[in-house]
Amino acid sequence: MRTGHQPYSLLAAVFLGALPLVGQPATESATLFRNYCAPCHGQQMEGGNAQSLIDAVWQFGSKKSHLFRNIKYGIADFAMPAFDAALSDDQINDLIDYIFSREKASGATKPHPPERIFTLDYEVRIEVLAQDLDIPWGICFTRPEQAFVTERSGSIRQLLAGRLLPDPVEGTPPVLHEGQGGLLDIAVDPEFEENQWIYLAYSHPLPSLSNDRRASAMTRIVRGRIRNNRWVDQQIVFEAPSETYQPTRHHYGSRIVFDTQHRLYFSVGDRGLSHQAQDLSQPNGKIHRLHRDGTIPVENPFLTRFNALPSIYSYGHRNPQGLAVHPSTGMIWESEHGPMGGDELNQLARGANFGWPEITYGRNYDGATVSDLTHQPGMEQPRLYWKPSIAVCGIAFVSESSFTRWNDHLLVGALKYEELRLLAIAEGRVVHQEILLKNSGRIRDVANGPDGAIYVITNGPGMILKLTPIRDLNGNPNE
């Protein structure tokens, strides 16, 4: 999502439903919601890139006057655009009445996954290992029976032998849990058995310099160890220059992976300042590469470029919330949220410019044009883009799994349509997509477990799911 607003043209207003076509009745509130609100808040108001509207939690005020103000004037720091040029006051009031009526009628029922599903290759068992987590975001495994899961509010939870321990890990770093910020990804060092390092990505606040200004924040990477359920030995791996911190509360990224040479890659979203994605002096809108101790690899592409941050590996990214290493080629793949349309799947390359916001397949959430261009010399094309957006999130390649038919396939989580997808990739191209799981919660992250199972993290509700094969379609037993 982007901040700010650009006025509609009359044609754009008609196309998106703000004005009726000649000879047709006036736009109904349901159509207004579908055109203006659903891309962020979900078709059923269940939440997507923005919060749910049916869970009785109103972050910016629950009165009708509060909603009217937010819709009309926007909330720039949280990427809520202003709709004062697109919607009349009467339309805004009708839209609010519709939202309140849907909230009342919803009953706020929670989705629940089926016990078994059938895919093209397997019958799959689904187990719910944990429920009622507080916006779980990332998962990592230290051994087959032990995993750690982050909750965006700031906690690390331990999953031991398939059971979620009641007490969170103590002593974790303080995070700025506002908007899309908080405790984000978690990753295990490639040499964990020797060094016990665990890495965290989170939104790190700087203290406000005055009482009338909100704290600025940026994505930060640290590592530490977990001993006796306590976070200890913390070291800062990456902290951006303080002058690059921003008061916005969205587009932090951030995922962490390690390549075949054990170098660390992590993503930082554009923080709602899209033009800075092209600015090499800024950390946002970039994929960064470091050694695990935070030092800079000498092979980094902008190491000697004047005024460029030496940690940058690629740039021109919007909000990358998925990173994965191809198990056969070693190439780094990345998924990122586009605006309204234009979610991307990219294969990263050293020093490459992926174009945001100069080129895009999407439009701004208020309907305004981000760019008229989808191609530009010197800018990379996505290997796949989704239009409309699926709100693509965590990704993982299947490797050394019990799902042997899926080895080297890419698992893709989607928030907006509550989907887990399986992508077949050949010679760097996506050749097939299959929806494995749908309507069981918004898929935030997905991971291969060392036990051969696939683990899925959902939001709304916050669950940990375990997928194992029962049999393949040729009748070969897997149990």
Catalytic residues: 251
The amino acid occupying position 302 is F
